[in-house]
Amino acid sequence: MTRPDVLVAAPLPPVTMAALDDAFVVHRLWEGVADDVLSRVRGMAASTLAGPVRDDLFARLPALEVIANFGVGYDNIDMVAAVARGLVVTNTAGVLDEEVADLTIGLLLATLRRIPAAERFLRDGLWRDGNFPLSPSLRGRRVGIIGLGGIGKAIARRLDGFAVDIAYHGRTRQGDVGYPWYPSVEALAGACDVLIAIVPGGASTRHLVDARVLAALGPQGVLINVSRGTVVDEAALIAALQAGTILASGLDVFEREHDVPEALLALDNVVLLPHIGSASAITRQAMGRLMVDNLVAWFETGRPLTPVPETRIMPSS
């Protein structure tokens, strides 16, 4: 059987690249690929690391059938164009839920208990002169989760062990979930003093957390964002942190990745991480394996393992 031609949009972990090379005829976009080769490409391995995957690239790939994305979020892909062209799109849903949930709880505790600041206090020799100031606490708080999908539920399971009240917002109420549901993010913020954002990126969720939501969260409120930077109005968040509109924030994502505003860096009531939610060796390997398995399943059976909701499944040619 002839191995399908697959285009890789940006470098992936070595173990994932090796698995792709084993299964397919792989072409690396960053090395330059001739148009006659692109015309044979039937599959693509994409990731947020590659930047936007848009219709102008699809137009150069007339035989393209499937895009397997490295990550659960796929706002890097122009889904309107992909659906219009009948392309199948997959993600790595499920395999990173527990890792991201672990990181979320760590970021929440680091933000509330000011763990990074406490370590700096010790390293700077200040403990010799007195104790570190008392911090806020998770005790007695009500936590609102924006987006109760697989990762949101994994976060909620962990929070259950902390004996805190939990509520959530999503597009619809989930009948099999016992937590209170709020019809808007602003209403959820008004009922809680911790907000955790774990929703997909894209136009529909852009600035879902804005100045009104932050005002509703209040002066003891804490915002944790482990979804996409575009979900939060970053300028409004900076203003809220500077003015004391909210107490603190923990961020693993930013509106412009790798370009964190100086105003955020200057604040001592934020904990900032370089988008490491799923960034453990074991989880990245599992993500890569699922990405490859989606491509293999498509070409062997015409049925990918984890298609995204927008995609239309059609028989493989």
From 257, 300, 310, 312, the catalytic residue: 257
Gyration radius of the chain's alpha carbons: 22
* Residue 228 annotated among the catalytic residues of the structure: yes
Report the share of the chain in percent with pLDDT over 70: 98
pLDDT tens digits, one per residue of 120-169: 999 999 999 999 999 999 999 999 999 999 999 999 999 999 999 999 99
| Structure tokens that stand for 236 in this block | 């409004």
CATH 3.40.50.720 domain locations along the chain: 5-93+281-301, 97-272
Whether residue 250 contacts residue 113, with contact meaning beta carbons closer than 8 Å, is answered with no
pLDDT tens digits, one per residue of 235-275: 999 999 999 999 999 999 999 988 999 999 999 999 999 99
* Residue 257 annotated among the catalytic residues of the structure: yes
Whether residue 276 contacts residue 250, with contact meaning beta carbons closer than 8 Å, is answered with no
| Structure tokens that stand for 281 in this block | 């060796």
Element (H, E) at 69: strand 66-70
Architecture of domain 97-272: 3-Layer(aba) Sandwich (3.40)
pLDDT tens digits, one per residue of 62-116: 999 999 999 999 999 999 999 999 999 999 999 999 999 999 999 999 999 999 9
From 40, 158, 206, 275, the catalytic residue: 275
| Structure tokens that stand for 148 in this block | 């109760």
| Structure tokens that stand for 24 in this block | 């397919």
Q: Please report the pLDDT score of residue 314 as a whole number.
A: 52
Whether residue 33 contacts residue 27, with contact meaning beta carbons closer than 8 Å, is answered with yes
**Whole-angstrom Cα distance, residue 166 to residue 188?**
10
**Whole-angstrom Cα distance, residue 284 to residue 48?**
13
* In 161-265, alpha helices (H): 185-191, 211-217, 234-243, 262-265
pLDDT tens digits, one per residue of 6-59: 999 999 999 999 999 999 999 999 999 999 999 999 999 999 777 789 999 999
From 169, 228, 255, 284, the catalytic residue: 228
**Whole-angstrom Cα distance, residue 167 to residue 181?**
6
Residue owning tokens 């370009």? 259
Query: Which DSSP string do the residues of 6-60 spell out, in sequence order?
Result: EEESS---HHHHHHHHHHSEEEEGGG---HHHHTT--EEEEEGGG--B-HHHHTT
Whether residue 251 contacts residue 225, with contact meaning beta carbons closer than 8 Å, is answered with yes
* Residue 169 annotated among the catalytic residues of the structure: no
Q: Please report the pLDDT score of residue 315 as a whole number.
A: 43
Q: What is the mean pLDDT of residues 180-188?
A: 98
Whether residue 72 contacts residue 93, with contact meaning beta carbons closer than 8 Å, is answered with yes
Question: 187 Cβ partners below 8 Å, 6+ apart?
Answer: 169, 216
Fold of 5-93+281-301: Rossmann fold (3.40.50)
pLDDT tens digits, one per residue of 213-242: 999 999 999 999 999 999 999 999 999 999
At residue 316, does pLDDT exceed 50? no
